[in-house]
Amino acid sequence: MWLFRWKGASGFSAYSTAEDVTRGIDGTALTAIVTGASSGIGLETARVLALRGVHVVMAVRNVDVGRNVKETLLQERNDAKIDVLELDLSSMASVRKFASEFQSSNLPLNILINNAGVMATPFMLSLDNIELQFATNHLGHFLLTNLLLDIMKRTARESKREGRIVNLSSEGHRIAYREGIRFDQINDESGYFSWFAYGQSKLANILHANELARRLKEEGVEITANSLHPGSIIMTNLMRHHGLINAVGQTIGKYFLKSIPQGAATTCYVALHPQVRGISGEYFMDSNISQPSIQGKDEDLAKRLWDFSLTLTNTRLANFQQSSFPSVAM
């Protein structure tokens, strides 16, 4: 049972579920991509969006698991519109392939939910030789967003409806490395600390949304970009690298921690609720606007991260090249 039930300005609280915050909302004219939609918060987000009539594209690493999840969701609403596409955010080639396949589908795109992630892993490199948490949690989503942005702009223009980009961050962004983003030491194994690296990637999620919001406002595009903290230590498979914490959480967590339906609430609120219309560049928690750390508000840091990420992902070229890593220590 979640102990903290007081409501914020939105009328919702930490106790609210994803179904609570979307009750009465008709999403039948909308299409959404949800990354990491085969488990945890991503699955619950996809379920509730589909329940509200949204056409959901599940972006998942394991397509077979994704298809099984789809069949389960269709049992709840047999007319739900759900597609499953493969996406491995730790691989830029996979991100590009996903974006190309989605573009070929000729579907519109109203909502992009950058949900998938890994938490506090041992030091590992992605398929593109970048520290895994930074690569998966931030860079993969940064590239995906950039590749899909033109589709979202066209959808917003043609539908005359606001597009929404939602980045799942975490209060863990407050325990990043001292400098926030270690631009010159992303791949430094000797100075690696798993929780600081996780915080760094979650800080990057906030900074990405903030800088994207600034650019979209400047361009006059009717698309918002926001970040959020889903809730205090929700017991999902993110904790699989921490056996003791996971075991304790599964045993007593139900009495003190958010459930997955509660954890998905803020995501669904920011993605669908009319109260959020026109709000961009904000950080949400418990389905209310909150405040990130000082680094999470740093405009210069956000701009520097944008340029750094653009260099790493090499989004201006059709193919990824290793030569786009001038400042990454290998």
Active-site residue numbers? Answer: 192
Contacts of 327 (CB under 8 A, 6+ apart): 183, 184, 308, 311
Using alpha carbons, list the distances in angstroms from residue 299 to 214, 240, 253, 296.
Answer: 9, 34, 37, 8
- Please state, in angstroms and rounded to a whole number, the distance separating the CA atoms of residues 202 and 230: 12
Q: Exposed, middle or buried by CB within 10 Å (0-12, 13-18, 19+), for 59?
A: buried
Find, among 232, 285, 260, the residue nearest to 43 by Cα: 260
Ramachandran angles phi, psi of 22, nearest 5°: -115, 5
Residues 122-143: b if buried by 16+ CB within 10 A, e if exposed: eeeebebebbbbbbbbbbbbbb
- Both tokens of 164, joined, read 């929404």
Q: Exposed, middle or buried by CB within 10 Å (0-12, 13-18, 19+), for 240?
A: exposed
